[in-house]
Amino acid sequence: MVRCLVPSCKNTSEIRDWKKRIDTGEMRKKVSFHSFPKDPATRNLWIDILKLDAASIPVAARICSDHFKEEDYDKRTLIARLFRNALPIAIQV
């Protein structure tokens, strides 16, 4: 099972189904999960924006699609992927 690393987020999925439908009560929506960037500068930006402790982030950590804007995705192919320069939406503390 994969869980979104953002503290206030409850989205989870099974590893075999990254596009699992999440039941939101009113409707079901697709949620995808994304790894942290490998580029250290971008990774640090994500950590700062999400107000996370860098030392406590596991290697397999994922952030769900709820924390990105629609325009952050490249939809030119069948599988929508995050653009390399996509940044998560800042969370309120």
Residue ranges per domain, the chain? 2-82
> pLDDT at position 29, please?
65
In the structure, what pLDDT confidence band is assigned to residue 17 with cuts at 50, 70 and 90? very low
> pLDDT at position 24, please?
52
Burial 47-78 (b: 16+ CB within 10 A, else e): eeebebeeeeeeeebbbbbbbbeeebbeeeee
Q: Tell me: the pLDDT tens digits for 61-92? A: 999 999 999 999 998 988 889 999 999 998 76
SS3 for 46-92, per residue?
HHHHCCCCHHHCCCCCEEEHHHCCHHHEECCCCCCEECCCCCCCCCC
In the structure, what pLDDT confidence band is assigned to residue 25 with cuts at 50, 70 and 90? low
